[in-house]
Structure 1
Amino acid sequence: MFLQTYSVSVKEVMKKDIYFIDIEENFCKVFDYLMKNSKKEVLVLKEGKLDGIITISDISKMVDKDISQIAISDVMTDNLISIGTEETLANVRLLMLKNCIGRIPVLSNNKVVGIIREEIIRDYFYRGVEESEQAIEHIFDNISEAVCVLDNKGRVVIWNKNAEKLYGLKIDEIKGKPLRKYFPNAIDLKIFETKESVKNIYHSPKEGYHVIISASPIIINDKLYGVISTEKDISEIEELQKELKKAKDKIQVLENKIDQDGLDPFDRIIGHSKKIIDKIDIAKQIAPTNVSVLLTGESGTGKEEFAKAIHKYSGLSGKFVPVNCSAIPSELFESEFFGYERGAFTGARKEGKIGFFELAKDGTLFLDEIGDLPLSMQAKLLRVLQDKKIKKVGGERYIPVDVRIISATNKNLVDMIEKKQFREDLYYRINVIEIELPPLRERKEDIVLFIDYFLKEICIENDKEVLSINNDVVNFLIDYPWRGNIRELRNVIEHMAIMCRGDTITKDLIPKYMLKDGIEGFYSMDLNKSVENLEIFLIKEALRSTNGSRIKAAKLLNIPRTTLHSKMKKYHLYD
């Protein structure tokens, strides 16, 4: 299938899991089916022939109507586009884009024999990408000269076997690293400035090395994507250039299709307020670089979602590996982060274990709640970030690690440094760029968007018709201070949606702790009594907003867990 994905005929890939219904049938059947199979569709027959189609988007237009009174003909799309079994995926994709549709029935002799959905085309395309990458790697490794490809930041992305032999550098040592670090005088680096190709130039990139080099910028749609160079025999230059041009053209085709079909990962970040848009702009600017990022802000502000978006936007080939630093005992730090060899210690897995750093190879390691990392573990982490290599527990060799680090905390690390609770050198290592996410109370214009999103999500998850919500409830939620931020807001929406027995959420469904009567009695001329009342209220609120998790509640209150347990005991707040 290498680079021939879109020439495949639809009969080879079409799906046959089709749900048919007669136009005279009850619409409730259609509704029930699509609620349980939202990614599919219902084909409508009239006198045995295809007459229309109904999708989940058609259903969404009827949410405010009584479905028992709806006829199938009122909902279905009847100006159908269909295709034959010999049509190619390339033409089908163009049809879908032109007509803004996500599925097309396949007919043979005027009879429905299958259906093509957009995810079928997408899956085949990504399979083609994987096969193409393998094929291109094979091509480069079988070219008799050294080949180097840099990205637009001057980092090595392709380093074939002959480059390894020529310079004695393995691909694992140099891939993802700046070429300037190893070859400060390389012609490839000058191409970034001139954006012009050079051919058959004698060059000595490093003392003791003498090559004939050709190098070209990789420019697609007037944008510089990187540089490709070959170090080779003059006699074979023309033939090699042809092979490399073919490979570059294939890469360009794949990159163009990814650009067309891909989505902006920051679209998952809900909000149109200036404060959040400014943070997204900063994140997009630094995402393609390899700088370390520190995400700060109160608990529940969406730091992990931001980290995921930065990773996806960066284009890194490796995985996004999230790690909750507060949940790792100090005695397991090395085995969890670095992994261990088979038989490293009693109770170890026979096959050994891969650590977080290896899992995140060529990707992103997200260190959540890094402020909770004990000092002894901070020192070990700093060593790895400085040396960029690890040694497994029970192992003898060092393993190089090329990992992007994104950290997050809701604590003031500067204060912790002053109190000797956090290492200053580690702070500067993880905090090249800091992005402070605003609390929900500072982006009130986004609260309505969150309410709408969470309400739909929760109702669909719980097989409920999407509920309406009274304006006075919305206004109350906008004015509420949201100490638990987005996480607390979702919990509140879930509570109200589950407890609602009608079709509209009203003010009586708001959790009692949020209402004004929840803080009555706080104020007293007895200062000690007023403080006690306030502490009781805040502890209860924190426990409710974290679903009873004392660890999370302590973090939300910004007090040690031991202090929380002590106060709960004092005020008789244990279950």
Structure 2
Amino acid sequence: MLFDYNEILVKKVMNKDYIVLNIRNTVNEAIKLMLKNNIQDVFIEDLNHNVKGVITLSDVANIYDEINQEILLKKYIRTNMISVDKNKTLYQCRSIMIENNIGRLPVLEKGNLIGVIRQAEIRDYFYMDLERISKTLNHIVESIHEALCLIDTKGKVIIWNKNAAELYDIPQKDIVGKNIKDFFPDSINSKVLESKERITNVYHSPKKNYKVIINALPIYINGKFEGVLTTDRDVTEVTSLSKKLEKANSNLKFLEGEFKKLKNNYFDNIIGRSTKIIEKIKIAKQVSKSDISVLISGESGTGKELFAKNIHDYSGGKGSFIPVNCSAIPNELFESEFFGYDEGAFTGANKKGKVGFFELANNGTLFLDEIAELPLYMQAKLLRVLQDNTFTRVGGTEVINSKVRIISATNANLAEMVDEGKFRKDLFYRLNVIEIKLPPLRERENDIVLLTYHFLNELAEKNNRDVPKISPEVLDIFKKYNWNGNIRELRNVVEHTLVLCTDNVINKDRLPSHILKFVKEKEHDFIKTESTFDLNKSISNLEKKIIIEALKNTKGNKAKAAKLLNIPRSTLHYKLDSYEIVNF
């Protein structure tokens, strides 16, 4: 702890070596005692032993002509003699001495002298404590891990600890007291000495295989510039460990990627074996390895977000996948949500500001679902960001770089919206570099059964239920239903039947009434439009319809269609001629 006048009390440091004489004693007697005891003052008390005055060697010099006379000390009694008590502080004593131009203060207790505070006591105590502090500070300076250098306003080196000596191979005895420029002409110390501005976190290599970070700080005492202190922190080991860690992380990421490839789990969460969905997965994998924009179109509930997430994961990008539902954001909040805002950007804003979707998705993927709901003014702003890869926060001025891949999705016809002036043509072309149009569930009849069993197992586990059986009649109804809500609707229906199932079999009576009604009307319409009482004609009409559907499903490939119909290829060609089926 540093020396503090305000904390040191008189009673701890007062001198008890003093001389007291009576008012009846002479000046000559006082002088003899001062010379004999090597003391420069004698205190004078009255007949009641109360200290009333003091005579010093300085006083004697002023009355040199009267020394041979028998002058009594009574002459030096003062009615206003200044004294202190033992509980005063050294700071108070010092102030009293300076203010009254005196060199000593008697310490009185109930009028009696118990000690003396002289300038020497204050000075000696100060130097004694200063020496102790100096030793402590020197120990601290030498124990600090960093290399320290302190220079004064002339550039002279005041402190150069042992770590600095070892780091720069310059012994303390060779540099302390010398100008820093003699050793380092372009040192940071000298720059701060001129600018009086701090410099922080500067990387430097003082010698081979050494890396340090330097910080330089101007020193001010009571507002006055007194010098510059620099600290050099050795980060050689930390840098080495950081490089090793970075390499280990890279290796780990590579191995994780290879493991995922071996496991082949990408797109496995997309359930389906139909030709149409397999084709879409193949396209999605191809576009994943590039950073081009992808537009995923299709009816609601066909799995557009699931496709987008798989494209992001399969690409192996470092950044995050940030999904955004454009239809759920109020118009007035679009800009602040997409680009974020700075502190105090508008009334009600978060005091710390907010990070927008583009910053969150940096180096990753921003999935814009329901892109058709994006207002025209935001379409223009989005286009500018995609062109420049930069933006600024609302209420901010800093230009932020953004490297983001855009995958958008819609169930609307964007081309028609462009023609109607509801969607920007330039943004449409920017987003629609590759379009993946997902088929509705009604066009994936064979996948309906797969998805049904998948959801049944998933939801049974979620609800801690045994997996029930599902009747063939129910599966047949599922195949005939149109599924306007697609995969999302199928999942909800499976959950509905699971909750209502009281035994271990899901039967027709557990299905929602609107599904049963739709299938019944569909069968009635089919009988009404396709069937007659002529059984042979009805069978022919049905056979023709099935062959056409098979050819559509295989895109006109007759060999695949024959295999799908489970008939010989020659039989298929015969029936095509019989029913006059052409254009395939």
TM-score range, shorter chain: 0.3 to 0.5
Work out which of the two has the higher radius of gyration on C-alpha atoms and give 1 or 2: 2
Task: Compute the TM-score of the two structures, normalised by the length of structure 2.
Answer: 0.46
Task: Compute the TM-score of the two structures, normalised by the length of structure 1.
Answer: 0.47
